[in-house]
Structure 1
């Protein structure tokens, strides 16, 4: 998974980075709260490990602004404060889990893995990009009053693209969304589904909504 660790204690940060990397994750490290918030606002992460006491902007502020922005990335709070009111405050602001320092690295790794399996739960029932509306509750794709029929895999792939408009989504991420983690899927299968989606959602005479980013993946753009 792509993880962000925001921790100002550099010794603890190095331990977390090494442990999470050895556990197979792609780890981004940040020591200031304001810089961490900028990363959250500009990049996509699958799990965030967030310390409470940070220079620039504390963990509670980061958590509050992240949830106000309708970003549902799973967040594990780290705190040296073992006081129930502050733990409750963090959970009320939208934290998914917490650990108090000192903690065992294996426990943190297990909790990160569990949060990653749950994944992000979108805070909106409908996703909108350009003229497309994806109704997650009713499992329908609409353009205006017209419903565009999708297969189950097409729906799951398009949902991931619409959750991250303008951002590049890798082939591996699309495979995980449509087929599941560690599934063996050929490039031809991905190409088939992308071609099928394009044929269904593109508007004649306009540029394709799903664009190929060479050697990286695909990105969904609003119609221009």
Structure 2
């Protein structure tokens, strides 16, 4: 794949580039947000990697501007900001995935491969799975004609699940989006929120929209 990496830390950028090249990819490395934006708009890339804290233009602004210009290249956000609102903000702007620093290079490579398999996707302000609809602008949910009231954590978890329909989302990934990557949150706490979320979005007498994947995590079940 042809991959753009926008990272102002020269050491980290070189590590990412080396890992991607060793995995068989072509890499263009930029250290400025405004330059990265221009490259994304003008050149064909299969995947882009965006740091949040960049000179010239921050990663959120880069993402917002390229999505407004109908750029559908899958984007992985790299961020040292580990609070749930920052992660949700990036997803709302059109990020396809994220990693919070520090992270292992093997995990980074795996995420890049997954985004490459997915290919360009049309960004939307609404996520729809069956009759469940999530408005990512107003951060509201409804199933059929019924409005659903969600807490901030429930919303963040549901958005992640709906962005990865039929994919396994691990408990660690749910911790990252609902709390933060280094928060000490037990499996039972994650399971409690999943139980609460299910009770709000599921319809009595019907199969749950959220499937438990034993020993791994959860998966949002898409229409058959």
8 Å contact from structure 1 (residues 17, 29) kept in 2:
no
8 Å contact from structure 1 (residues 130, 222) kept in 2:
yes
Tell me if 1:31 matches 2:24: yes
SS at match of 1:189: helix
What residue is the counterpart of 1:19 in the other structure? 15
TM-score, length-normalised on structure 2? 0.54
Distance (Å, rounded) in 1 between the aligned partners of 2:176 and 2:21: 21
SS at match of 2:169: coil
* Larger Cα-atom Rg: 1
TM-score, length-normalised on structure 1? 0.54
Tell me if 1:61 matches 2:44: yes
8 Å contact from structure 1 (residues 156, 177) kept in 2:
yes
Tell me if 1:194 matches 2:206: no
1:96-122 Cα deviation digits (max 9, x unpaired): 9xxxxxxxxxxxxxx955699774432
1:210, CA displacement in angstroms? 0.6
What residue is the counterpart of 1:164 in the other structure? 164
SS at match of 2:185: coil
SS at match of 1:124: coil
Q: Please list every run of 5 or more consecutive structure 2 residues that lacks an aligned counterpart in the other structure.
A: 5-10, 30-41, 52-65, 95-122
1:201, CA displacement in angstroms? 1.2
Q: Please list every run of 5 or more consecutive structure 1 residues that lacks an aligned counterpart in the other structure.
A: 8-14, 34-49, 53-58, 67-72, 77-90, 97-110
Distance (Å, rounded) in 1 between the aligned partners of 2:190 and 2:80: 27
What residue is the counterpart of 2:150 in the other structure? 150
Distance (Å, rounded) in 2 between the aligned partners of 1:149 and 1:95: 31
SS at match of 2:45: helix
Distance (Å, rounded) in 2 between the aligned partners of 1:196 and 1:177: 16
8 Å contact from structure 1 (residues 74, 95) kept in 2:
no
Distance (Å, rounded) in 2 between the aligned partners of 1:177 and 1:126: 19
1:133, CA displacement in angstroms? 0.6
8 Å contact from structure 2 (residues 50, 78) kept in 1:
no
Compute the RMSD of aligned alpha carbons.
4.1
Distance (Å, rounded) in 2 between the aligned partners of 1:221 and 1:165: 6
What residue is the counterpart of 2:173 in the other structure? 173
What residue is the counterpart of 1:130 in the other structure? 130
1:32, CA displacement in angstroms? 5.3
Distance (Å, rounded) in 2 between the aligned partners of 1:215 and 1:176: 18
